[in-house]
Structure 1
Amino acid sequence: MSNVDVIRAHYAASDRGDLPGMLAPLGPQTKWTEAAGFPYAGTYTGPGEVREHVFEAIGRDWDGYRFTLADLLDAGDTVVGVGTYTGTHRRTGRSFTARVAHLWRFGGQSVVSFEQIVDSAPVVAAATQENS
């Protein structure tokens, strides 16, 4: 499987709601960085930390949280996924749409790092403002 195929499979698993499939490309040393300002900001190491601090937290806080892939760019050892996040916050009932880019870096056949670049303002606004 090429690097871009590995990431394409990750996004296909996301579309199916298949968390084990989403975590499959991550190794124990993979560094996963959620952008500063994003509700789950930080760097997590390995699939266990990513599951707990990112995906389980999103599942707890949001209904219909989704990443919709628009472009998948193959740059060899770097793969870029560009798309849109959407969701509705469970507590506030507010929805959002935010543009996002994911930078996947490979070392050999393994994902070494993931970095999220996102317009976090609409996400934070949906999570913090009560319905009128």
Structure 2
Amino acid sequence: MEILTQYHQMAAIALARIFLGFLFLFQGYDAVFHIGIKKVTDTYHESFKLKGIPRMITSFSAWYTSYTELICGFLLVLGLFEFASLYLLGINLILAAIGFGMNAPLWDTRNVYPRLLLILFLLMMPLHSHHWSLDYLIFKS
């Protein structure tokens, strides 16, 4: 029982990081390899062009969000460059909130809000509790 109480905070952080990583990894993988960036861009551009948003911005956002989710999700699963990945994914969620908010001011946050909470949880945990990661193994000082 002592071992559980000694490592429960590190385990909770690792569990949250890996879970969040898989959520983003699978979403990014689907957008990049199954749906395709062009189709993602086309889908969102239809509604954004009515608001006067240029295709270039829609295309950049589709590329950024899809590849950030894929790459940073993978890095989170590994625990490599964890904080950089979390900040990039936070920017990703801000872009998603702007996009969804422009389409429907009362949009359903059920997919975005839990991810935001997990990002904030991981960012607010003390640095010394992030032991179970490649970052700790490679960069510990």
TM-score, reference length from structure 1 = 0.26
TM-score, reference length from structure 2 = 0.25
- Higher RCO structure, 1 or 2 (CA under 8 Å, sep 6+): 2
* More helix as a share of residues: 2
* More strand as a share of residues: 1
